[in-house]
Copies of this chain bind each other. A is one copy, B any other.
Amino acid sequence: MLTSIETKTRSIIKAISWRFLATLTTSAIVYAFFGRLDLAAAIGVIESSSKIFLYFLHERLWLRIKWGKKEVTPFVLWFTGLPLSGKTTIADMVYKELKQIGIKVERLDSKQVRQLFPKAGYTREDRIRHLGRVAFLASMLEKNGISVVASFITPYKEARDFARKLCKNYVEIYVKASIETCMKRDYKGIYEKALKGEIPNFTGISDPYEEPENPDITIDTEKLTPEEAKNIVVGYVKKRFLR
């Protein structure tokens, strides 16, 4: 992605392109009133030369005015929930819609990050450290004007609280589904494996999921469609972070 600084040359060329359009109009109006092409042309010349300069000043002045620029306060949407609760699906949809609105936003997903750092580990300590680093990354993006849509199981309160502390506008989204429902959705067969003891430290089976006590948004995936869930989250963002 490229960022940009508005140059003075751009303002000058804008002034000239506008002047061409505007003087043509003025001359036409003068001609319509007085029927004299020579005067219409003379007025056109004087008008152009004075107004190109005026337009330039007007343009540079407006570059300093913040009003009317829709401000986006950067935020971090943190989706937490059991494996297969629906975090990634909803987060993906939210990300897509936020991008469409024009918000600068980055997507962080557990799978993607762990693919890059496969030795991150799954013990309580490993996970808290791993999530801490992800929270730091999210906070750095947020600090630089980039909002974040993160989806991680984040089973421990400690890890979630750390993310809340680090990020300025941390929004905890609890994607809720009973363990029974998640097991029914077990298309990858991971719950089956976990029940057989083949995956150690599996959240919900051999490792606890500490339910969020006070999430900013709760999405009950047993009652809501992904589409409805997405709308709730995007609505929340629009209300709180867009002005």
Residues of A within 8 A of B (CB): 1-7, 9-11, 13-14, 17-18, 21-22, 25-26, 29-30, 33-34, 39, 42-43, 46-47, 50-51, 54-55, 58, 62, 66-74, 102-104, 106, 116-117, 119, 129, 132-133, 136-137, 140-141, 143-146
Contacts and interface: CB of A to CB of B under 8 A. Distances in A.
Q: Is the interface of A mostly helix, strand, loop or mixed?
A: helix
A144 B72 contact: no
A70 B7 contact: yes
Nearest to A46: B29
In the complex this chain forms, how many copies of it are found? 2
Contacts of A33: 39, 42-43
A73 B58 CA distance: 29
A4 B46 contact: no
A165 B71 CA distance: 35
Contacts of A103: 3
Contact of A104 (B42, B116, B136, B144): B144
Nearest to A17: B58
